[in-house]
C-alpha cells in the first residue's frame, strides 16, 4: 500500500456510469490515477464502475491500465503502486434502464457506508451519452440516492443537449431530483490552468484592469485551432459540428472570463454571477444577421505537416454530402459600458495548420504617431496574447527601436511560460475538476442559466445553418486557416485574423 492519502477529506464513493466507455478510459481514469499519485484522493475512496458490458473487477482494471498507459500525464511508477490503485476499483454490471439496478446500487452504497462506519460522499458521474441523462437522474432519484443534498453530487458533461429545447429537457430531469447545488456541469476548458490564470492576470495585477476596456482595446480574438480531424468521433460530430462542439461551451466560457467584471470574491456564487452578467450583455444575433456575423466551413482534403489527409466527407461514418461544419467563426458584441464598440471574434476549426488555443487582445493604435514615417513602417499596435495551448503562457508584443544609428521601429515580444516559471507540469483539466467535485467546490462548473443563455444565443445560427445547407462545402483545404468567408467576416470591420503566437519550438 502507498502511504495514506488525504485524511482531511471525507470518505467518497465515485460512482461511474458508462465505466466501459471512451471518456472513462481516456480522460477520467488517467486523471483519477494522477490524483492518486499525488495523494489527493480521500483516504477512504472507491470507484464503483457501472456499465452493461461484460467486465469484472479484474478485467476492468486491466482495461483501465491500458488507458492510463496511453493517456496519463505520468506513467505508472511501479507494479506495487498500480496494484494498490487497482484494488480501489469495483465493477457492477447493470442495465441503467432497469430500475432494479438502482435499488442494487443503493444497497451496495449502504453496505459501503457500514464498512466505513459512516456516511460516504457520493459522486455520480454520468459518463454516458446524454440521451441517458434523464433516465439516470430518474433512476437515482427514485432509489432515494439524490435526496441527501450534502452527500450526493451528480456530474454531467457536454453535449448538454442538441439545442435549447433538449438542454431544457435534460435540465428538467436533473432538477426534478437534484438541487442546482448538487449538479456539476463540466466544461473541461474551465479546468485548464491557463484559463483560471486569465482571472489571476486580470484581477491580481493592478496594471491591466485600467486599460481593459473600450478606451484602449481595439478588439479581442479567441482562437481554438486543431490539426486533428474528426478522428473516430464522427458518430457524435456529424450531429454536433464545430459551433455546438466548441463554441457553445468552451469558447463562450473563455469570452466570459476575458470580458466579465471583477468578482467580489473568488467563489462559485460570485464568479458564476459575473460570467452570467456577461452572457446577458452579449448582443443577440438574429436569423437575418447570421450571414453577417457567422461563417462556417468544412475541410476538404489537404496536407498537415507533410502528411496528406482526407476530406471530412471521406472520413469513416461521415455522410458524403454532410452539411456539418468543422470550422466556424463569429463576431460578437457586448452591450455594456466596458465593451461598447469592441468586437469579439471567435474562431475554431479542425484540420487547421497548427494546434493553438489563445486569446489575443489587440490594443488601439497610438493616438499620435510622433516618429517619422520611415521609422514606423512596421508599426503595429500592442498585443497581449494569453496562450492556453500547446504551451501555456503570456506573450506581450510591442514596438521597440531597432539598435543602430537610424530610428527604425520593430515589433518585439516578451514571453512568459508557466512551465518555465513554475518548473512544474500543470495538472490536466480533468484532474483539477475531479478534485473540485470531490471537494464540493462548484466554482469551475457551469450553472444551468449560463448553458441556457449560450444555447439561446446560438439557436438562430444553428437554425439558419440547418435549414440552408452549405452549397460551398468543402470550402477550405485541410492545413489552411479556414474558409474565405471567415476572412470576409472579419474584413467587414477593416480587421484581419492575427497569426497565432507560436514559439520557434512550436512553429
Q: Which residues are catalytic?
A: 250
Residue 188 or 347: the one with the smaller Cβ distance to ligand BG6 is: 188
DSSP secondary structure code for residue 493 in this structure: T
Provide long-range contacts, Cβ within 8 A and 24+ apart, for 396-405: 397/501
Give the Cα separation of 291 and 461 in Å (integer): 9
DSSP structure string for 243-299: IIIIIIIIIHHHHHHHHSPPPSSSSHHHHHHHHHHHHHHBPP--GGGHHHHEEEE-E
Positions in 367-426 near ligand BG6 (CB under 6 A): 389
Whether residue 52 is annotated as binding a ligand: the answer is yes
Q: Which is nearer to ligand BG6, 323 or 389 (CB)?
A: 389
Is 39 known as a binding-site position?
no
Coil, strand, or helix at residue 60?
helix
In angstroms, what is the minimal distance from the CB of 150 to ligand BG6? Answer: 30
Identify residues 166-225 at the interface with ligand BG6 (CB under 6 A).
Answer: 188
Q: How many CB atoms lie within 10 A of CB 404?
A: 7
Compute how many residues bind ligand BG6; rule: CB under 6 A: 5
Q: Is 226 in the site for ligand BG6 (CB under 6 A)?
A: yes
Among residues 359, 385, 294, which one has the least CA distance to residue 332?
294
Q: Is 437 exposed, middle or buried (0-12, 13-18, 19+ CB in 10 A)?
A: buried
* CA 287 from centre of chain: 27
State which residue, 236 or 398, has the beta carbon closest to ligand BG6.
236
Buried b (16+ CB within 10 A) or exposed e, 116-147: eeeebbbbbbbbbebeebbbbbbbbbebebbe
Closest approach of ligand BG6 to the CB of residue 141, in Å: 28
**Distance in Å, CB of 125 to ligand BG6, minimum:** 16
Q: Please report, as residue ranges, which positions from 304 to 363 form the binding site for ligand BG6 (by CB under 6 A).
A: 357
* Cβ distance to ligand BG6 smaller for residue 146 or 258: 258
245 is annotated as contributing to ligand binding: yes
State the alpha helices, DSSP H only, in 91-163.
99-116, 133-142
Q: For ligand BG6, which is the closer residue by CB, 43 or 389?
A: 389
- CB nearest ligand BG6: which residue? 245
- Is 350 flagged in the annotation as binding? yes
Taking the complex as a whole, the smallest distance from the CB of residue 32 to ligand BG6 amounts, in Å, to 17
Minimum gap (Å) between residue 240 Cβ and ligand BG6: 8
226 is in an annotated binding site: yes
192 annotated as a binding-site residue: yes
| Sequence-ordered list of residues with C-beta below 8 angstroms from that of 80, at least 6 positions apart, any chain | none
Contact residues toward ligand BG6 (CB under 6 A) are: 188, 226, 245, 357, 389
Binding site residues for substrate, as ranges? 188, 192, 226, 245, 350
Amino acid at each position: 500500500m502507498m502511504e495514506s492519502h488525504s485524511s482531511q477529506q471525507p470518505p467518497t464513493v465515485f460512482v461511474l456510469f458508462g465505466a466501459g466507455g471512451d471518456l472513462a478510459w481516456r480522460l477520467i481514469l488517467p486523471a483519477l490515477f494522477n490524483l492518486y499519485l499525488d495523494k489527493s484522493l480521500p483516504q477512504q475512496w472507491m470507484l464503483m464502475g457501472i456499465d452493461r458490458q461484460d467486465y469484472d473487477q479484474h478485467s476492468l482494471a486491466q482495461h483501465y491500465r491500458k488507458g492510463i498507459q496511453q493517456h496519463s500525464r505520468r506513467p505508472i511508477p511501479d507494479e506495487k503502486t498500480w496494484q494498490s490503485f487497482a484494488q480501489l476499483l469495483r465493477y457492477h454490471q447493470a442495465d441503467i434502464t432497469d430500475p432494479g439496478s438502482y435499488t442494487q446500487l443503493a444497497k451496495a452504497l449502504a453496505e459501503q457506508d457500514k464498512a466505513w462506519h459512516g456516511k460516504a460522499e457520493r459522486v455520480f458521474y454520468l459518463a454516458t451519452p446524454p440521451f441517458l441523462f434523464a433516465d439516470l437522474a430518474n433512476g437515482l432519484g427514485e432509489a432515494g440516492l439524490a435526496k441527501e443534498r450534502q452527500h450526493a453530487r451528480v456530474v454531467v458533461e457536454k453535449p448538454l443537449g442538441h439545442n435549447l429545447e433538449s438542454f431544457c429537457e435534460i435540465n428538467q430531469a436533473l432538477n426534478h431530483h437534484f438541487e442546482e447545488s448538487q449538479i456539476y456541469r463540466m466544461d473541461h476548458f474551465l479546468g485548464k490552468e491557463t484559463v483560471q490564470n486569465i482571472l489571476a492576470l486580470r484581477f491580481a495585477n493592478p496594471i491591466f484592469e485600467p486599460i481593459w476596456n473600450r478606451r484602449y482595446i481595439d478588439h479581442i480574438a479567441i482562437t481554438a485551432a486543431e490539426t486533428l480531424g474528426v478522428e473516430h468521433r464522427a458518430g457524435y460530430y456529424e450531429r454536433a459540428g464545430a459551433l455546438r462542439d466548441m463554441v457553445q461551451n468552451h469558447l463562450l466560457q473563455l469570452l466570459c472570463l476575458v470580458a466579465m467584471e471583477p468578482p467580489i470574491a473568488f467563489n462559485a456564487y460570485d464568479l458564476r454571477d459575473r460570467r452570467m452578467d456577461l452572457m446577458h450583455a452579449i448582443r443577440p444575433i438574429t436569423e437575418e444577421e447570421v450571414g453577417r456575423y457567422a461563417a462556417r466551413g468544412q475541410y476538404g482534403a489537404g496536407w498537415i505537416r507533410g502528411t496528406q489527409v482526407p476530406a471530412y466527407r471521406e472520413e469513416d461514418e461521415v455522410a458524403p454530402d454532410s452539411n456539418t461544419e468543422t470550422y466556424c467563426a463569429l463576431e460578437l458584441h457586448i452591450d455594456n459600458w466596458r465593451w461598447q464598440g469592441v468586437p469579439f471574434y471567435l474562431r475554431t476549426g479542425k484540420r487547421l495548420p497548427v494546434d493553438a488555443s489563445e486569446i489575443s487582445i489587440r490594443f488601439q493604435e497610438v493616438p499620435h504617431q510622433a516618429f517619422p514615417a520611415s521609422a514606423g513602417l512596421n508599426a503595429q499596435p500592442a498585443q497581449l496574447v494569453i496562450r492556453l495551448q500547446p504551451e501555456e503562457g503570456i506573450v506581450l508584443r510591442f514596438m521597440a527601436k531597432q539598435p543602430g544609428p537610424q530610428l527604425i521601429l520593430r515589433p518585439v515580444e516578451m514571453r512568459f511560460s508557466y512551465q518555465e516559471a513554475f518548473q512544474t507540469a500543470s495538472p490536466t483539466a480533468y484532474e483539477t475538476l475531479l478534485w473540485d467535485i470531490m471537494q464540493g467546490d462548484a466554482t469551475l462548473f457551469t450553472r444551468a442559466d449560463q448553458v441556457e443563455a449560450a444555447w439561446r444565443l446560438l439557436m438562430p445560427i444553428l437554425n439558419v445553418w440547418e435549414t440552408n445547407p452549405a452549397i460551398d462545402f468543402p470550402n477550405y483545404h485541410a492545413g489552411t486557416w479556414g474558409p474565405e468567408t471567415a476572412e470576409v467576416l472579419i474584413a467587414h470591420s477593416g480587421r484581419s485574423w492575427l497569426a497565432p503566437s507560436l514559439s520557434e519550438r512550436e512553429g
